[in-house]
Structure 1
Amino acid sequence: MKDIKKHFPGLQNCTYLNTASNGVVPKPVIEWRRQHDLDLMNYASVFRDKHKAHIEQIRGKVAQFFNASEKETALIPNLSFGMNTLLEGLPKGQKILLLKGDYPSINWPVEMRDFDVCYGEIDEHLEQNIEAAVSKHKPAIFMFSIVQWLTGIKIDLEFIKELKSKYPNMLIVADGTQYLGTEPFNFSESGIDVLGASAYKWLTAGYGNGFFMVKESAKERIHPQTLGFNSAERFESKASETLFIRHFEPGHQDTLNYGSLEQSMVFFEEVGKELIYNQIAVLSETAKAQFEALGVLLPHTVHRKIHSSIFNIKGDKTLFQKLNDHKIICSPRGGGMRVSFHYYNTMDDLNKIVEILKRN
């Protein structure tokens, strides 16, 4: 990862530990965006004549990146849009299992609709809690975030595969926003039926882009109501001929924002996905050990065998101000300070916050 920070000018003047809030967009992606807008300004509709082919190219890149098929993959502006579209396409009254305290874009849209909602607890026994809740409530659907936004607790994806095998008729819907881009992920081999994500965090693609993936076996359970002219294949197409996945893409698609996602994935591949994932894993493991030694982690993090690269460390407004004074960028969340490490972070970044915590 030598010289990686040259692609992120904003990192020169701070220690950025806030990817869980907003990933830093690489310079090559910004340069591509600038050229895109110049072409739109100079060529207008002539430039847009190529947008459908470009959108299909982007769809292919996203599908390839996570080992899904193109017909399973929709490009969406953000996770919230995708989740609401999904829920509007589900028969009402079904029992849905959620996790208490999960991200609002997961829980709120379910709780505000006519569903029978039950809950599992998020703590160091997360998988056992889910197993118990499924056994007790027998939900038709289980919706959750792979990595928890407040604590960084990461669900065991092998457990999800086992859960799907044990309960094949339970629809498993996951939010990958705080996860995808941190380690290898294979959608086709996962136990997840529906996966959505916004791409402005760990995929460093900026705002206004994300994706939804729906396995063929799950489509008969979902009947999306969202529709628009751009969902059609041709001008002469009928509404009834709309492909399933295009119900998630009702309007004109933005090649600037979705193209930014494609370019960010290209950048990932140019740097080396294996190098990126290894850098994150090493930083996460080291950070967990050092934070644990300092006694600043909550028990549910300490006792987990697997964890993400997001940590909630004990601290108040005074600590937050002290970190800001030292140009360490993080977020006050869940009663503590949420810090997060991405591939553009280094051991020096970790050492800076550790030194401040030692003096606190």
Structure 2
Amino acid sequence: MNKIRKSFPVVKHSLYANTAAIGLMSEELQEWRQEHDLDFLIGGSEMKMESFHMISGVRDTLGKFLGCDRNRIALSPNFSLALNTVIEGLSKENNVLLLQSDYPSVNWPFESRDFNLTYAKIDDKIESHIEEKLKHGKIDVFAFSLVQWENGLMISSDFIRYIREQYPDLMMIADGTQYCGAFDFNFDNSGLDILGGSGYKWLLAGTGNGYMLFSERASERLSLKSIGFNSVNGNIEAKNDIRLAKRLEPGHLDSTCFGSLDFSIKKLMEWDIKIIEKHNKTLIEKARESLLRLDLLDIAVAKRKAHGAILNIRGGEELFSYLSDNNVCCSRRGGGIRLSFHLYNSESDVNTIVDILKSAPSSLSSYKN
């Protein structure tokens, strides 16, 4: 990982623990983007027309990386836009299960429409809470984040497959933004019906690109009306023969943004996502053990076998300022301070942040903050 770390200049001058907010750009991606813009400057429309073929190829890259057939993959500028489009195709008579305090872009689209909503509590027994709601309520749709944005709580993949077996008619929609890129994932083996995400966090692809994957049975439950010239790839005769994924692509997509997604995912595959996952799990476990000893984590975190690459420590604005003054880049979230670690972080980063926290006045990390 030390060789990979050299591709990210920010980590040379900062303790970067903020991938959950935005992932870093690699030097290789920056060079690709420069060359791409130069090609447009010189090639004009001819270059842009050729880039449409490149954008189509992004589906192949995503399909290989996330385990899904290219024809069931939609490209979108971001997860939020894609989800809002998708749920317009759901009957408002559906009973929908959400998680309390889940990411706003997961919950708000459902809450702003006339669905019948039920909520499950987020804590160390989250799977039990979900199953309890499913047992005692007629739930048609379950929408959730694979990894919680505020504290990194991760829903077990085995549990998702178990729910699929127990409730075969349940539609499961997941946000993978805080998961994909940090850990290995295979959509077709996941039990999910829909997986969406944005590329600017753990995929390290910058803003303006996202994706949505569909199971084969998802089209049976969705009736989307969105349409445009790009939905038929410029073939007017195909207006009445548009597959589900292309309903999410009514207009042209930006070649720089989706070229960046393609480039970054190929780099992750080159670096090997399984090795990245192992590295990230090692870092987060080391951080979790150290922060628990400092009594800075909710004890519920210690009870979970698996966790995302995000932790939330006790502390308010003063501790956050103390960390910032000591060159730690992180975020204020969920009443605490969010730390997140990715492939360009090292065990030394974790140790240094822990030492900085040890050196902080005890009042800065008290429960009062």
Instruction: Tell me, yes or no, whether TM beats 0.5.
Output: yes
Matches of 1:179 and 1:302 in 2, distance apart? 20
Q: Which runs of 5+ in 1 are unaligned?
A: none
What is the number of residues matched between the two proteins? 360
Q: Is the 8 A contact 2:79 2:196 kept in 1?
A: yes
Segment drifting more, 227-236 vs 89-98: 227-236
Q: Which runs of 5+ in 2 are unaligned?
A: 361-369
Matches of 1:197 and 1:295 in 2, distance apart? 33
The Cα of 1:235 is off from its aligned counterpart by: 3.2
The Cα of 1:265 is off from its aligned counterpart by: 1.1
Matches of 1:236 and 1:359 in 2, distance apart? 66
**Equivalent in the alignment of 1:162:** 162
Matches of 1:171 and 1:59 in 2, distance apart? 23
The Cα of 1:273 is off from its aligned counterpart by: 2.2
Matches of 1:50 and 1:169 in 2, distance apart? 42
Segment drifting more, 143-152 vs 5-14: 5-14
Measured on the aligned residues, the alpha-carbon RMSD in Å equals 1.1
Matches of 2:321 and 2:52 in 1, distance apart? 48
Q: Is the 8 A contact 1:233 1:242 kept in 2?
A: no
Secondary structure of 2:197's match? Answer: strand
**Equivalent in the alignment of 2:365:** none
Secondary structure of 1:98's match? Answer: strand
The Cα of 1:274 is off from its aligned counterpart by: 2.6
The Cα of 1:277 is off from its aligned counterpart by: 1.5
Q: Is the 8 A contact 1:93 1:116 kept in 2?
A: yes
Deviations 1:243-289 (A, max 9, x none): 22100111012111011011001111222323211110110111111
Q: Is the 8 A contact 2:8 2:26 kept in 1?
A: yes
Matches of 1:25 and 1:140 in 2, distance apart? 39
Q: Where do 1:39-188 residues align within 5 Å? A: 39-188=39-188
**Equivalent in the alignment of 1:316:** 316
Q: Percent identity?
A: 40
Matches of 2:331 and 2:196 in 1, distance apart? 24
**Equivalent in the alignment of 2:21:** 21
Q: Is the 8 A contact 1:124 1:303 kept in 2?
A: yes
Deviations 1:201-243 (A, max 9, x none): 0000000001000111111101112111111134332422222
Q: Is the 8 A contact 1:124 1:299 kept in 2?
A: no
Secondary structure of 2:119's match? Answer: strand
Matches of 1:151 and 1:172 in 2, distance apart? 22
Matches of 1:236 and 1:311 in 2, distance apart? 50
Segment drifting more, 6-15 vs 119-128: 6-15
Secondary structure of 2:75's match? Answer: strand
Q: Which amino acid aligns with 1:36?
A: H
Secondary structure of 1:337's match? Answer: strand
Matches of 2:114 and 2:97 in 1, distance apart? 14
Matches of 1:229 and 1:212 in 2, distance apart? 20
Q: Is the 8 A contact 2:65 2:269 kept in 1?
A: no
**Equivalent in the alignment of 1:211:** 211
**Equivalent in the alignment of 1:274:** 274
Matches of 2:29 and 2:122 in 1, distance apart? 36
Secondary structure of 2:280's match? Answer: helix
Secondary structure of 1:338's match? Answer: strand
Q: Which amino acid aligns with 2:136?
A: K
Q: Where do 1:161-310 residues align within 5 Å? A: 161-310=161-310
Matches of 2:123 and 2:133 in 1, distance apart? 14
The Cα of 1:97 is off from its aligned counterpart by: 0.3
Matches of 1:113 and 1:234 in 2, distance apart? 33
Q: Which amino acid aligns with 2:20?
A: A
Q: Is the 8 A contact 2:292 2:299 kept in 1?
A: no
Q: Where does structure 1 differ by over 2 angstroms across 4 or more consecutive aligned residues?
A: 2-5, 233-239, 269-275
